Amino acid sequence: MLYFAKWKIILVSAVCLLGMAFAAPNLFPAKDLESAPDWLPKKQISLGLDLQGGSHLLLEVEIGAVIRERFAAIVDSMRIELRKADIGYRGLAVNEKSAEVSIRDAGRIEDAAKLIRDMDDDIVVDVGEEGLITVHFTEQALKARITSAVDQSIEIVRRRIDETGVREPTIVRQGEDRILVQLPGIDDPERIKRLLGKTAKMSFHLVDHKADLAEVKSGRAPPGSVLMPSANEMEADGTPRMYVVRKRVMVSGESLVDSQPSFQDSGPVVTFRFDSVGGKRFGNVTRDNVNRLLAIVLDGKVISAPVIREAILGGSGVISGRYTVQETQDLALLLRAGALPAPLTILEERTVGPGLGADSIEAGKIASTIGLVLVIVFMAVVYRFFGALADIALLVNITLIIGSLSLLQATLTLPGIAGIVLTIGMAVDANVLIFERIREELRAGRTPISAIDSGYSRAITTIIDANLTTLIAAVLLFEFGSGPVRGFAVTLAIGIATSMFTATLFTRMLVSFWVRRKRPQSLSI
């Protein structure tokens, strides 16, 4: 007990100093830290939604749109394959969860069914009466597509939100097809909702210059063409300008690799760049269609329809229109982040005001202060001098928790504050076990030094067991919980680690120094 290795002293001192250094920035306003030297710790504890205000959104992925889109692709493939095989058909259509086609020649029904089965391993082909063939997905394939669509949506939502500068967003899956989004500290929730509400599927189509717009508006569209509204151009009567656009996608937005807001001719525009495959295809389209309109379509609306003046072979281009600077920034962000596999619907929206967050922080401070004072008084009264040493260790422990949260940039929520308050009480638990063991050894007739040595060595197993079981619970809460539950688990786990450190190393080091200096003949414990 009298011997405490120098390397342990250096280690304990270094950890304590680092904890103080990383906790110190929380004592200063964030603006004052911006002018501090870069080598100084500047990170502060990141506050969660319930402490600094923000938005809570529950989104639902429209899985039906994903399935319908996939069946539409299957129908296109069926049309091509049946025509190649010279098999007559009628009634080729997409239903909610299936595709159907009727084969005219009864003798070719099995040939058609085999042809369709060979198109995709994930589909089931049923042959009914009068040559009706129904195509649907297997249960396993359907679940896989739903999971993939939600996972992809989460990733794209994360990209879009990260680029807006929101710190520490919480984006997690809930149930089969829902996404929970919590955005602490945002000052423009409507902009976030607009960004999340857009699918951002972009494609390039040629404008059908031979079509008569009046006839198309009356319902007589040429085969392979469709009527689309403009996103930002209006007619004299206030209605959106309409374009007759070829259905064939000349270049897909999936080939985009970058998109940035910029200025051209003193106006805001969006520049974009394709990958090598998309750039080659874009170059071929512009080369073969000089002086024609090329419609840039985003989510079913024409956002720009410039005239192709010359071949664009560099794999890049510009989207111009009546855009504000903010609109070009948002459009560039959407194109960079990628398209959602399906539209998102906002099922629930809650806004937490910063005033409520300030009240929560104040209540947390009061609870923490009361808990800290009561624990300090209890330890000093019950264990006297040794209790005072434990109180010093408790203050170091709280400093280490704050420093760890700042260093890790873990989000502190209201349940997280509850975890800290709980940790204040738990922090002295290890010391209580040690001190009670020392009392037992003294009652058994041991000398003070022997009792202290035995108390620490024999209590360590119990301390490890008690903290390890609590740590396992914290890990499980973090793994299977979400949002506030995870915040509680993080602070609890950090508190367990720091309390173990202060009880088994820091307090023991203080006791060791005192014993070596005083050589006590009796103990006040």
pLDDT tens for 286-326 read 999 988 999 988 888 888 888 888 888 888 888 877 778 88
C-beta separation of 138 from 123 below 8 A? yes
Q: How confident is the model at residue 15 (pLDDT cuts 50, 70, 90)?
A: very high
Longest dimension (CA), the chain: 108
Instruction: Tell me the three state secondary structure of residue 313.
Output: coil
3-state secondary structure 107-174: HHHHHHHHHHHCCCCCEEEEECHHHEEEEEECHHHHHHHHHHHHHHHHHHHHHHHHHCCCCCCEEEEE
Answer yes or no: is 475 within a domain. yes
In sign, the C-alpha dihedral spanning 285, 286, 291, 297 is: positive
Q: How confident is the model at residue 165 (pLDDT cuts 50, 70, 90)?
A: low
Rounded to whole angstroms, how far apart are CA atoms 229 and 53? 39
The CA-CA-CA angle for residues 175, 490, 432, to 5°, reads 135
pLDDT at residue 359 is higher than 80? no
Residue among 261, 259, 231 nearest 325 (CA): 261
C-beta separation of 430 from 500 below 8 A? yes
Judgement on whether residues 218 and 287 belong to the same structural domain of the protein: yes
Rounded to whole angstroms, how far apart are CA atoms 240 and 230? 6
pLDDT value of residue 6: 85
Domain end among 349, 378, 406: 349
pLDDT at residue 163 is higher than 80? no
Residues 6+ away with beta carbon under 8 Å from 357: 47, 50, 51, 52, 53
Judgement on whether residues 128 and 207 belong to the same structural domain of the protein: no
Rounded to whole angstroms, how far apart are CA atoms 278 and 250? 10
| Beta bridge partners of residue 344, listed in sequence order | 61
**Between β-strands 316-319 and 344-352, what pairing exists: parallel, antiparallel or unpaired?**
unpaired
Q: How confident is the model at residue 272 (pLDDT cuts 50, 70, 90)?
A: confident
Token reading at 427: 């922090």
Q: Output 3-10 pairs: Cβ under 8 A, ≥24 positions apart.
A: 3/512, 4/508, 4/509, 4/512, 4/513, 8/505, 8/509, 9/509
Residue-range definition of the domain harbouring residue 113: 63-135
Q: How confident is the model at residue 159 (pLDDT cuts 50, 70, 90)?
A: confident
pLDDT value of residue 67: 83
pLDDT at residue 355 is higher than 80? no
Residue among 188, 160, 180, 196 nearest 299 (CA): 196
Rounded to whole angstroms, how far apart are CA atoms 81 and 102? 14
Domain end among 109, 135, 161: 135
Tell me how far CA of residue 154 lies from CA of 162, 307, 457, 479, in angstroms: 12, 37, 50, 18
Rounded to whole angstroms, how far apart are CA atoms 367 and 378? 16
Answer yes or no: is 191 within a domain. yes
pLDDT value of residue 432: 87
Global pTM reads 0.59
Edge-first strand listing for the sheet containing 132-137? 89-94, 99-103, 132-137, 123-127
C-beta separation of 524 from 514 below 8 A? no
pLDDT value of residue 399: 92
Q: How confident is the model at residue 239 (pLDDT cuts 50, 70, 90)?
A: confident
Answer yes or no: is 524 within a domain. no
> Cα-atom radius of gyration of the chain, to the nearest Å?
34
pLDDT above 70 coverage of the chain, percent? 96
Answer yes or no: is 392 within a domain. yes
Answer yes or no: is 408 within a domain. yes
Can you give the length of the chain in residues? 525
pLDDT value of residue 356: 56
Answer yes or no: is 1 within a domain. no
Instruction: Tell me the three state secondary structure of residue 482.
Output: coil
Judgement on whether residues 116 and 195 belong to the same structural domain of the protein: no
Q: How confident is the model at residue 396 (pLDDT cuts 50, 70, 90)?
A: very high
Residue type, 326: Q
pLDDT value of residue 125: 85
C-beta separation of 515 from 449 below 8 A? yes
Residue type, 473: A
Judgement on whether residues 218 and 310 belong to the same structural domain of the protein: yes
Judgement on whether residues 258 and 341 belong to the same structural domain of the protein: yes
Q: How confident is the model at residue 105 (pLDDT cuts 50, 70, 90)?
A: confident
pLDDT value of residue 454: 85
- CATH code at position 190: 3.30.1360.200
Answer yes or no: is 19 within a domain. yes
Judgement on whether residues 109 and 187 belong to the same structural domain of the protein: no
pLDDT value of residue 18: 92
Q: Please compute the mean of the pLDDT values over residues 393-422 and round it to a whole number.
A: 85
The CA-CA-CA angle for residues 378, 383, 384, to 5°, reads 95
Q: How confident is the model at residue 41 (pLDDT cuts 50, 70, 90)?
A: confident
Q: Please compute the mean of the pLDDT values over residues 180-197 and round it to a whole number.
A: 76
Q: What is the mean pLDDT of the chain?
A: 83
Residue among 49, 131, 24 nearest 415 (CA): 49
Token reading at 35: 């002018």
Residue type, 210: K
Rounded to whole angstroms, how far apart are CA atoms 169 and 189? 13
Q: Please compute the mean of the pLDDT values over residues 90-115 and round it to a whole number.
A: 84
- CATH code at position 361: 1.20.1640.10
pLDDT digit string, tens, across residues 450-501: 888 888 888 888 888 888 898 999 899 888 876 678 778 888 899 889 988 8
Number of Cβ within 10 Å of residue 226's Cβ equals: 16
Judgement on whether residues 266 and 408 belong to the same structural domain of the protein: no
pLDDT value of residue 16: 92
Instruction: Tell me the three state secondary structure of residue 35.
Output: coil
pLDDT at residue 198 is higher than 80? no
Judgement on whether residues 428 and 444 belong to the same structural domain of the protein: yes
Judgement on whether residues 91 and 184 belong to the same structural domain of the protein: no
Rounded to whole angstroms, how far apart are CA atoms 265 and 308? 18
Q: How confident is the model at residue 143 (pLDDT cuts 50, 70, 90)?
A: confident
Domain end among 317, 349, 381: 349
pLDDT at residue 14 is higher than 90? yes
pLDDT at residue 1 is higher than 70? no
Judgement on whether residues 28 and 151 belong to the same structural domain of the protein: no
Judgement on whether residues 227 and 300 belong to the same structural domain of the protein: yes
Number of Cβ within 10 Å of residue 36's Cβ equals: 12
Token reading at 16: 């304590």
Q: Please compute the mean of the pLDDT values over residues 421-443 and round it to a whole number.
A: 85
pLDDT digit string, tens, across residues 73-92: 788 788 888 888 888 888 88
pLDDT value of residue 392: 92
pLDDT digit string, tens, across residues 111-130: 888 888 888 778 888 888 87
Q: Please compute the mean of the pLDDT values over residues 8-28 and round it to a whole number.
A: 89
In sign, the C-alpha dihedral spanning 37, 43, 49, 55 is: positive
Edge-first strand listing for the sheet containing 178-184? 170-174, 178-184, 54-61, 344-352
Rounded to whole angstroms, how far apart are CA atoms 397 and 372? 11
Q: How many domains does the chain have?
A: 3
Token reading at 314: 């560099």
- Give me the residue label for tokens 């009567």: 237
Answer yes or no: is 249 within a domain. yes
Judgement on whether residues 195 and 276 belong to the same structural domain of the protein: yes
